[in-house]
């Protein structure tokens, strides 16, 4: 496993969680849509926790110095592991400026989503590795950087026809109930042939994901983050 594994929780899950062995990650923090500053900041966190700041609400003029003060007080006061900037709106100048200010101003590790990681000396946060791509190949573009990896029970379906191949993602609820295992890709798979096409379904079971994270650690990934609701009993 990676050096640190975090389970991302909502405020309600923090109260109900039985104390998982993995470290906790507070995932409810976001830019306030009503006034300056952050909303849904926790009062306290377990030592060693990760705080996740998302851009579900656009930044829209938030003052980076105020955001920095709020986060510094929270992170230092609770002796947190670090901060994850889970920014999913690419190409936003305000988000890039905010990320740079927080990386510069905070004394703890600050992971930044890949869309905003260029030019910053900080860990890069990558989405879950697709099951049809070898992990080493997936991580290769970020060689030399500290990498934090999202962990998820993800899958995909590849439909092959005479016109080419199309790939669509699969949610865990759509995974087949049985298939074969691919040790190199750390996934399970099933092939169904039709009259004019072939469907390759690949998905990760808990066992597959556990093995993937072992390889991730061997390749230098220092932290993995997954949803408590999905991996809480992992």
Same domain, 15 and 82: yes
Same domain, 62 and 91: yes
Strand partners, 54: 30, 86
Widest Cα–Cα separation across the chain: 63
Q: Which of 23-37, 76-90, 114-128, 142-156 has the lowest mean pLDDT?
A: 23-37
Same domain, 122 and 103: yes
Instruction: Enter the tokens of residue 140.
Output: 């290769």
> What is the rounded average pLDDT of the residues 163-181?
89
Question: Which range of residues forms the domain containing residue 32?
Answer: 4-152+206-231
Which pLDDT value is given to residue 122? 94
Contact 210, 224 (CB under 8 A): no
> What is the rounded average pLDDT of the residues 24-33?
90
> What is the rounded average pLDDT of the residues 174-193?
92
Which pLDDT value is given to residue 232? 74
> What is the rounded average pLDDT of the residues 147-157?
95
Q: How many domains does the chain have?
A: 2
Which pLDDT value is given to residue 94? 92
Which pLDDT value is given to residue 20? 52
pLDDT band at 15 (very low <50, low <70, confident <90, very high): confident
Same domain, 118 and 71: yes
Q: Helices 64-77 & 93-105, crossing angle to 10 degrees?
A: 40
Same domain, 142 and 175: no
Which pLDDT value is given to residue 220? 92
Contact 22, 6 (CB under 8 A): yes
Q: Which long-range contacts (CB under 8 A, 24 or more apart) does 179-183 make?
A: 179/203, 181/208, 183/211
Instruction: Enter the tokens of residue 5.
Output: 């594994």
Same domain, 148 and 171: no
Strands 38-39 and 23-31, sheet pairing = antiparallel
Same domain, 61 and 19: yes
pLDDT band at 67 (very low <50, low <70, confident <90, very high): very high
Same domain, 32 and 78: yes
> What is the rounded average pLDDT of the residues 13-18?
74
Same domain, 61 and 145: yes
- Report the distance separating Cα 229 and Cα 132, nearest Å: 24
Over residues 80-123, the pLDDT tens digits come to 999 999 999 988 999 999 999 999 999 999 999 999 999 999 99
- Nearest residue to 116 (alpha-carbon basis) of 140, 134, 93: 93
Share of the chain above pLDDT 90, in %: 67
Same domain, 64 and 112: yes
């Amino acid at each position: 496993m990676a050096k640190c594994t975090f389970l991302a929780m909502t405020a309600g899950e923090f109260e109900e969680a039985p104390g998982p062995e993995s470290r906790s990650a507070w995932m409810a923090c976001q830019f306030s849509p009503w006034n300056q500053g952050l909303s849904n900041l926790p009062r306290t966190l377990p030592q060693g926790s990760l705080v996740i700041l998302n851009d579900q609400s656009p930044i829209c003029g938030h003052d980076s110095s105020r955001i920095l003060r709020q986060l510094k007080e929270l992170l230092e006061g609770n002796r947190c592991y670090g901060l994850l900037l889970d920014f999913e709106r690419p190409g936003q100048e305000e988000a890039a400026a905010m990320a740079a200010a927080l990386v510069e101003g905070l004394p703890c590790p600050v992971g930044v989503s890949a869309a905003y990681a260029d030019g910053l000396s900080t860990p890069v946060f990558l989405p879950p590795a697709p099951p049809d791509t070898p992990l080493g190949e997936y991580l290769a573009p970020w060689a030399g950087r500290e990498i934090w990896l999202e962990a998820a029970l993800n899958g995909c379906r590849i439909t092959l026809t005479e016109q080419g191949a199309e790939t669509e993602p699969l949610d865990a609820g759509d995974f087949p109930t049985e298939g074969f295992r691919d040790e190199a890709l750390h996934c399970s798979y099933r092939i169904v042939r039709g009259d004019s096409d072939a469907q390759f379904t690949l998905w990760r079971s808990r066992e597959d994901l556990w093995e993937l994270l072992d390889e991730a650690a061997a390749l230098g990934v220092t932290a993995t983050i997954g949803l408590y609701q999905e991996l809480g009993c992992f």
